[in-house]
């Protein structure tokens, strides 16, 4: 059973980081995780772990066990239930970088509700809960199937909206277009659902409506680049400036196309007198 660390924390919280140029603090000095829906099959998770929390974890587990444990998001399908930690329909795990503080999660199934635990998975397979997120219900998939007169709009107005959107099938009625849009959406979902890090488990539960007919297989991959430098250094990746966290760490995710890709990472000291560069050369070949 998961061991809830966050409920046992004692002592004052760390002070929040000073506000940045945007007026918002870089951190809030509390251990928490929040998830937000992006579209019917993706949601966004972001989190913060206080240094006190990490220190207590390390002290409890010991350096060896702490360092050999992996950070993970445990994603629960909680559709139609009041989640208590053990009554989810199913779950899957996504391994995340120890320095990451946000992640896009592909759930693979539409019209469901989800909750996420941030935690550590020890070498023995024990999941240690650090923080539990809110519950989100994902946006409904596709265009509404209701195309009767109650939801119809004037043909003239509908055609004006179509022209603005670049759709060229003006000769069809609003009912026909709505059905075409819904069918096209379902087709896109069925052939273009990329996976999140975490392996095949993130494909579990793909709805029958979204699956192509017959035997099928889908797979994709991404590149995660992470590291750290002096907190006041200037960092670029592939020539683009990257904002560092207060401790100087960073993490980035890249879409990885077929072929050879170079990822030059350059850090420059605050006074501009010193530079360090690391370049990753990554080759992807899909067969």
The verdict on 66 and 108 lying in the same domain is yes
Provide the residue range defining the domain that includes 258.
222-284
Domain boundary (182, 210, 238) is at: 210
pLDDT in tens, 112-162: 999 999 999 999 999 999 999 999 998 876 555 554 545 555 555 655 665
pLDDT in tens, 56-77: 999 999 999 999 999 999 999 9
Distance CA 156, CA 279 (A): 56
What does R_g of the chain's alpha carbons equal in angstroms?
A: 23
Domain boundary (155, 184, 210) is at: 210
Q: How many CB atoms lie within 10 A of CB 174?
A: 18
Give pTM, 2 decimals. 0.49
The verdict on 228 and 106 lying in the same domain is no
The verdict on 118 and 68 lying in the same domain is yes
The verdict on 240 and 200 lying in the same domain is no
Q: What is the pLDDT of residue 226?
A: 86
Residue 121 or 12, more confident = 121
CATH number of domain containing 124:
2.60.40.10
The verdict on 133 and 58 lying in the same domain is yes
Q: What is the mean pLDDT of the chain?
A: 75
pLDDT in tens, 199-226: 333 333 344 444 445 787 877 778 888 8
Distance CA 122, CA 70 (A): 7
The verdict on 197 and 266 lying in the same domain is no
Burial of 103 (0-12, 13-18, 19+ CB in 10 A): buried
Domain boundary (155, 183, 210) is at: 210
Domain tally, the chain:
2
């Amino acid at each position: 059973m998961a061991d809830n660390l966050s409920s046992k924390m004692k002592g004052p919280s760390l002070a929040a980081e000073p506000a940045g140029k945007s007026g918002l603090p870089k951190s809030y000095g509390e251990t928490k995780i929040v998830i937000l829906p992006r579209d019917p099959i993706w949601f966004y998770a972001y989190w913060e772990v206080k240094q006190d929390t990490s220190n207590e974890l390390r002290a409890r587990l010991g350096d060896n066990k702490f360092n050999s444990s992996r950070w993970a998001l445990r994603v629960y399908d909680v559709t139609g239930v009041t989640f208590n930690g053990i009554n989810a329909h199913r779950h899957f795990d996504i391994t995340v970088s120890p320095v990451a503080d946000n992640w896009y999660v592909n759930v693979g199934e539409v019209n469901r509700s989800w909750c996420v635990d941030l935690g550590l998975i020890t070498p023995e397979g024990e999941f240690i809960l650090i923080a539990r997120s809110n519950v989100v219900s994902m946006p409904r998939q596709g265009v509404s199937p209701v195309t009767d007169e109650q939801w119809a709009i004037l043909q003239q107005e509908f055609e004006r909206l179509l022209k603005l959107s670049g759709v060229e099938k003006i000769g069809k009625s609003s009912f026909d277009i709505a059905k075409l849009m819904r069918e096209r959406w379902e087709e896109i979902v069925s052939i273009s659902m990329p996976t999140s890090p975490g392996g095949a488990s993130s494909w579990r539960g793909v709805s029958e409506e979204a699956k192509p007919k017959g035997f099928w297989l889908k797979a994709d991959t991404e590149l995660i680049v992470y590291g750290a430098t002096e907190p006041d250094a200037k960092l670029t990746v592939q020539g683009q400036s990257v904002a560092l966290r207060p401790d100087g760490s960073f993490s980035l995710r890249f879409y990885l196309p077929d072929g050879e890709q170079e990822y030059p990472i350059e850090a420059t000291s605050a006074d501009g007198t010193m530079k360090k560069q690391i370049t990753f050369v990554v080759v992807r070949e899909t067969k």
